[in-house]
Every structure is written in C-alpha cells, then in structure tokens.
Amino acid sequence: MSDIPVLELPESLTGSPADRALAAGMIDAWRTHGIFYLATGPAEQEIVRAAMSESRRFFALPFAEKARYVNDTTYSGYIASGEEVTAGEADHSEIFTVCKDIAGDDERSLSAWPAHGPVPWPGQAYERAMKAFMTQLGSMGERLLALAALGLGLDDPSALNALTADGWHHMRVLRFPAASDAGERGIGAHTDYGLLVIAAQDSAGGLWIRPPVSGEHRNRNWLGHESTAGMFENDEPWTYVPPVPGTLTVFPGDILQLLTGGHLLSTPHKVRLAADRERYSMAYFHEPAFQSWVEPLRHAFPDGGGAGADPENRLHYGTHFTRMFLRCYPDRMTTLRLLATGGLERLARLRESALPVERMAGRR
C-alpha cells in the first residue's frame, strides 16, 4: 500500500486553522513524496468518467481519422505514437493536446501569436467533456495555489493566483498501449515544464515518480543548457503511484521549482506500460498567462532555498512554452509554419512588449 497521502480540498478557503493545517500538509507531501492524491466527490468523479469515456472513444478511431485533427496555428490536436521524444527515445503514447481555444477571429490569432488558434475538436461531445474536466481542474488549481501560498508562508495569499489570471491552462489526453505491443517504456523520465500538474489515471496504473532526495542535484529544465529528460532513469529511488479510485494526483512542475528556488522540486516521473492492458490518463497543466513574466519569489524559505540570488532564471512564459513545444515537435506542421512565417521574431516582440508582473511574495 502506498504511503502517499490523500488530501481533501475544501470548496472555499478562509485562512482558517484547518486551511493552514491542510496547506502545511500539502507542502510537506510535495517535499517528502513529490506528489499527493486529491480526493474528489461524486459530481467531480462523473466529470472525470465522462472525459475518460470520450478519450477512449476517440483513440479507438482509425489512425487516418485521428490524424485529421491537427492545426498549423496551435499545438492542440492529435499526436501519434512515436511523434514525441523524451531523452532521445520515442515515447509510445498517443496524445490529444488541448491548448487554450483561441477563435480564428480573435486578435491574437489574426496577429499570428505563436501557438494561438482554435482547437481542432473531434466532435461536440469530446469538446464538452474535456472543457468540463478542465473547468473543474481549473477551479481546483486556483485553490491549490492559494493553499501553496499559505503553506509557503507568503504574506500575500493571492501571490501565486495573480500569476495565473488568464492562464495558458492546457491538457494532454493520453493513451498508452499494452506492454506486449511496445515493450515496457511508455514515457521516459522527465519533469513537466509548467507550474502545477493535476492528473487522472485509469485503473491500469503505470505512473512512477521520483521523490525529493537529500543532496541530489536536479537540473533546471527551464534553462536552455539544462534538461531533466532521462535524469535518474534507472537509479533508485522511484515510487510507484498506484491508482486510487476517486482521486487525482497533484505534483509541482518546473515553474514552482523556479519560483521557490528549489524549496519545492519539480517531480520527475515516467510511465511503464502495463502487461496486456492499455492505459488512459489525462494530465492538466495549471499555468501562468502567456504574456506573464515569471521570476523567483522574494521570500526567505526555511531551508534557505529562496531563489532571489538567481535572477537570470526570470522567464517569459509564452517563450518558455513555445520553446518547449518546438523542441518536442520539430517536424509538426505547427512548428514548420511558425518558423516559416517569422513566428520567433513575433514571439520576441511579444516578449519585449509584455509588462513584467509585480514581483511576488514576501511583501512586508
């Protein structure tokens, strides 16, 4: 039986002693285990069930049908097995990515902002189910960030939520084949590039995470000269995260590591395929706004992990997101169009015009 804790998220937060105890437990779970389970109620579980059902229905379609759902203005849409590479090796997952759904007549689309465009939805039922799931997890994400601010001892309880106003929230809907079809490797070891990851997995299992290890160096995936891909792939300790009915899993991404100077570490994870059984999961990324500047929190953490001494780590989120997807999908039509039409130059202008967010946290 896993010793990963199961936490319950209240519908609203008041800063009460109960909220503070929950916040402290959440931070402790991340610093000890790298992850925790989040309990859900019957209504939330029905939303998860409906989204999983639509995922299974879509991935059961013939390849030629699935491959139609792509768009050269956005990274939303279908990704075939083997198209994504981690640590130099093709992953076996097929994916439907759901980025922010930007209408074609939106000014950002008309101005050809990188990665901005409509989601190529494979039908109304799929769209409704995924939007309902993302709306639910978006609400959870905001409350989790408020708890994180409380648990980190930040003076401003809205410090982290300010970063995610109009956030570039997105999701990866995944199917993994059975191990007998493609070996054991589903996705290689890596950390996720974003802020906060909330995920649902079916009963097949296969998720493994690496908890924080005292004294262990962790690369900073947001920097161009460092990567977490493949780190510690075959080194212990790795922890199996068994499916627990009625729960989601929650872990920090690279941006929480950046913000806290390593007080919270981005959680390395990988997927091992189950024997003779497909695996379905949905990973939701609760993110800063595309035009946000992200920089270390001005805060003295208890372990001296404050990030203020590392100012070069400041990043423009839209640039960070775009570069990650360019790296993951160098041959995708979205990448080819972006490079051919001056998308990187346009991104540079957006970065220069973005107003840096107010320095967060620790304001006395």
- pTM value is 0.93
Per-residue pLDDT, 209: 97
CA distance 210 to 189: 9
Cβ(260)–Cβ(115) below 8 Å: no
Q: What is the dihedral of CA 150, 154, 155, 159, to 10 degrees?
A: -90
Residue-by-residue pLDDT tens, the chain, 364 positions: 479 999 999 999 998 999 999 999 999 999 999 999 999 999 999 999 999 999 999 999 999 999 999 999 999 999 998 888 776 777 889 999 999 999 999 999 999 999 999 999 999 999 999 999 999 999 999 999 999 999 999 978 888 999 999 999 999 999 999 886 557 888 889 999 999 999 999 999 999 999 999 988 888 888 877 888 888 888 889 999 999 999 999 999 999 999 998 999 999 999 998 878 899 999 999 999 999 999 988 886 776 555 444 556 789 999 999 999 998 899 999 999 999 999 999 999 999 998 665 443 333 2
Per-residue pLDDT, 271: 94
Per-residue b or e along 124-162, where b marks 16 or more CB atoms closer than 10 Å to that residue's CB: eebeebbbebbebbeebbbbbbbbbbbbbebeebebbbb
Contacts of residue 314, defined as CB under 8 A and 6 or more positions apart, other chains included, come to 293, 294, 295, 296
The DSSP bridge partners found for residue 272 are 185
Q: Which one, of 157, 137, 134, 133, lies nearest residue 145 by Cα?
A: 157
Per-residue pLDDT, 304: 57
The CB density around residue 339, as the number of other CB atoms within 10 Å, is 12
Per-residue pLDDT, 138: 98
Q: Which one, of 215, 222, 290, 291, lies nearest residue 252 by Cα?
A: 222
The DSSP bridge partners found for residue 209 are 239, 269
Per-residue pLDDT, 293: 94
How distant is the alpha carbon of residue 186 from its chain centre? Answer: 17
CA dihedral sign of residues 264, 270, 276, 278: positive
Q: Which one, of 363, 17, 350, lies nearest residue 157 by Cα?
A: 363
CA distance 137 to 361: 24
Residue type, 333: M
Residue carrying structure tokens 């639910």: 136
Cβ(55)–Cβ(98) below 8 Å: no
Q: Which one, of 289, 283, 295, lies nearest residue 359 by Cα?
A: 295
Element (H, E) at 279: strand 279-286
Contacts of residue 236, defined as CB under 8 A and 6 or more positions apart, other chains included, come to none
Per-residue pLDDT, 364: 28
